[in-house]
Amino acid sequence: MLKEKLSPFLKRYNEITKLLSSQEITNDIKKMTALSKEQSDLTPIKEKTEKYIQTCESIEENKELLDDNELGELAKEELKELEPEKLKLEDEIRLLLLPKDPNDDRNVYVELRAGTGGDEAALFVEDLFKAYLRYAELRGWSVEIISSSEGSAGGFKEMITLIKGKGAYSRLKYEGGTHRVQRVPETESQGRVHTSAITVAIMPEVDDIEIEINSNDLKIDVMRSSGCGGQSVNTTDSAVRITHLPTGIVVTNQDQKSQHKNKDKAMKVLKARLYELEMREQTAKEGADRKTQVGTGDRSGRIRTYNYPQNRITDHRIGLTLYRLDAIMQGGLFDEIIDPLITHFQAEAIKEAGI
């Protein structure tokens, strides 16, 4: 019974209320702060639970009146409103009972990398980056380019951005994986459709205290920048490459004129990658159910296909196909993909948790 599962939350909320009014706690600022935060976190489920219990009681009261000559019809009308309300509250409560992903409120690193398809893959990296950029702008988020590497025929071989804003990670965490594109390249004279692919990695921004890196584990090389990067390219040793020896993770940054700034940005990306690696290892230990709660997984797995000739976008994880690829790539309709994904993974998590 859902009511039984909710009982401990109400009990704990009431316990905290009593504790906060006791002299022992009011004299201990640290304990009072911790309890106040816990109570604040419990408030949404406490309020929904009280409303749910009240709705259940009203349903029972009206059911008892169904055979009443005077009040039967009125009770029937009330039940038409109360029973759907009860179902809605149950769904809302189940979501509140799910363990919260600690990364949901964080900013997010989005790393796009060209895969199979050569120049066409690099061009699609740019297209998808622009789509994410427009989506971020519409949600009021800011976007900072951390590192980029241009393709030989345009586009980008790699693009790493930091997207800052409330709920950025929670909205984008299921974008990680292989994105396949099917379209006619501009250089294709016969009009044949080519298939190429890029990979997307999604990594939450982490604080320095969360990831400690031993300086002895790092190999840091400085070099001259390469590619189209302005007047400073090939004139100063400003580019930085950091290799994390225990994991073999390599991060390169050359976007800034300052070697110090490039090193700082490269270290931040390295910490995000190490944190993501740690999350994936933890996910593997905890089992498949944890995969429904975090945006980690096999980034080599194909998650989505963008078919330009048919104006079709398909997310293979949930079997969703929409025939408005052009509008979605403008950023404004990205929620038509993201919302069903979030709903799907929430439903999977509820099923696994047995709520």
Cα separation of 32 and 177, whole Å?
A: 43
Confidence grade of residue 230 (pLDDT, cut at 50, 70, 90)? very low
Q: What is the pLDDT of residue 216?
A: 85
Residue 231 has pLDDT above 50, yes or no: no
Is 355 inside any structural domain?
Answer: no
Q: How many CB atoms lie within 10 A of CB 100?
A: 11
Tell me the average pLDDT across 147-176.
Answer: 91
CB 306 within 8 A of CB 182: yes
Average pLDDT of span 268-297: 66
Average pLDDT, the chain: 85
Q: Render pLDDT for 168-194 as a digit per residue (tens, 0 to 9).
A: 999 999 999 999 999 998 767 677 899
pLDDT at 156 over 90: yes
Tell me: do 152 and 32 sit in the same domain.
no
Look at residues 40, 68, 97 and tell me which one is the last residue of a structural domain. 97
Same domain as 73, residue 145: no
Together in a domain, 219 and 338: yes
Could you tell me which residue, 113 or 208, shows the higher pLDDT? Answer: 113
* Residue of 279, 286, 303, 288 lying closest to 348 (CA atoms): 288
| Residues above pLDDT 90, as percent of the chain | 46
The answer to whether residue 102 sits within a structural domain is: no
Report whether 346 contacts 98 (CB < 8 A): yes
Q: What is the CATH number of the domain that holds 200?
A: 3.30.70.1660
Is the pLDDT at 225 greater than 80? The verdict is no
pLDDT digits (tens, 9 = 90+) for 316-330: 999 999 999 999 999
163 and 304 in a single domain? The answer is yes
Please compute the mean of the pLDDT values over residues 29-34 and round it to a whole number: 89
Instruction: Tell me the mean pLDDT in the region 11-38.
Output: 89
Count the Cβ atoms, other than its own, within 10 Å of residue 322. 16
Please state which of the ranges 59-73, 243-257, 303-317 shows the lowest mean pLDDT: 243-257
Mean pLDDT of 58-72: 91
Q: What is the pLDDT of residue 305?
A: 96
- Six token digits for residue 340: 């069903």
Confidence check: pLDDT of 74 > 50: yes
Buried b / exposed e across 240-255, counting CB within 10 Å, b at 16+?
bbbbbeeeeeebbbbb
Residues in contact with 101: Cβ distance below 8 Å, sequence separation at least 6, in sequence order? 170, 173, 293, 294
For the segment 230-238, the average pLDDT, to the nearest whole number, is: 52
What mean pLDDT is predicted for residues 68-97?
91
Confidence at residue 236, expressed as pLDDT on a 0 to 100 scale: 58
Confidence grade of residue 146 (pLDDT, cut at 50, 70, 90): confident
What was the pLDDT predicted at 311? 96
The domain boundary, picked from 97, 116, 147, lies at: 97
Angle subtended by helix axes 335-353 and 72-97, to nearest 10: 90
Q: What angle do CA 161, 166, 167 make, to 5 degrees?
A: 80
Q: Is residue 53 part of a domain?
A: yes
Which of 214, 206, 221 is CA-nearest to residue 254?
Answer: 221
At residue 180, the pLDDT reads 95
The pLDDT value given to residue 289: 43
What is this structure's pTM? Answer: 0.74
Domain span at residue 60?
2-97
Q: Do both 127 and 92 map to the same domain?
A: no
